[in-house]
Amino acid sequence: MQNMEQIYEQYFETVNKYLFCLTHDNDISEELTQETFYKAVKKINTYKSECKMSVWLCQIAKNLWYDQCRKNKKIANLDESDLLEIAANTTVEEKILQDEEKMQLYKQMQKLDAKTREVMYLRITGELSFKEIGIILNKTENWARVIFYRGKNKLKEVD
């Protein structure tokens, strides 16, 4: 596992952008970002690799923001239905996170050999089946499946 300094450097901007989308206030988002990482340091032993680190950190951030809203009564009588409504409006920050993850994926894919990269692009962006990829590249469906699987494993090694 990475140390907290590396985690901080890698995810600070993501968490801060996420919080800014929730708060629409740069000062509050920066303060909550700092609190998020402080809480993450204290709770790092509870992190299970079932979700991405960025998702775990953003969950902490969102909960801190909800807590602050309750404390400051910025949102009067905040209850579960209000939280659900707020969460429904968080699609912007989710999109930001997804876009950042997508950019990272494409950057990592550039390190793959040309054939693997082509299969990965066709599968991910073209959303083509392995059979269709095989036809396009004059190979078998199984070949496309194996190349994609190996490429995916190479990308995991890069993480």
Q: Where are the domains of the chain?
A: 4-100, 110-158
pTM more than 0.75: no
Tell me how far apart the alpha carbons of residues 65 and 71 are, in angstroms, rounded to a whole number: 10
Q: Are 134 and 144 in contact (CB under 8 A)?
A: yes
Tell me how far apart the alpha carbons of residues 155 and 108 are, in angstroms, rounded to a whole number: 7
46-95 pLDDT tens trace: 877 777 788 788 788 888 888 887 777 654 445 555 555 555 555 555 66
> Above 60 in pLDDT, residue 130?
yes
Nearest to 15 by CA among 46, 79, 58: 58
Instruction: Check residue 89 and report its DSSP letter.
Output: T
In this structure, the number of other CB atoms found within 10 A of the CB of residue 58 comes to 24
Buried b (16+ CB within 10 A) or exposed e, 3-20: eeeebbeebbebbbbbbb
pLDDT of 147: 94
Q: Work out the percent of the chain whose per-residue pLDDT is above 90.
A: 14
Instruction: Give me the architecture of the 110-158 domain, per CATH.
Output: Orthogonal Bundle (1.10)
Q: Are 13 and 55 in contact (CB under 8 A)?
A: no
> Above 50 in pLDDT, residue 137?
yes
Q: Are 122 and 133 in contact (CB under 8 A)?
A: yes
Burial class of residue 33 in the structure, from the number of CB atoms within 10 Å of its CB (0-12 exposed, 13-18 middle, 19+ buried): buried
Mean pLDDT of the chain: 79
What is the maximal distance between C-alpha atoms in the chain?
A: 63
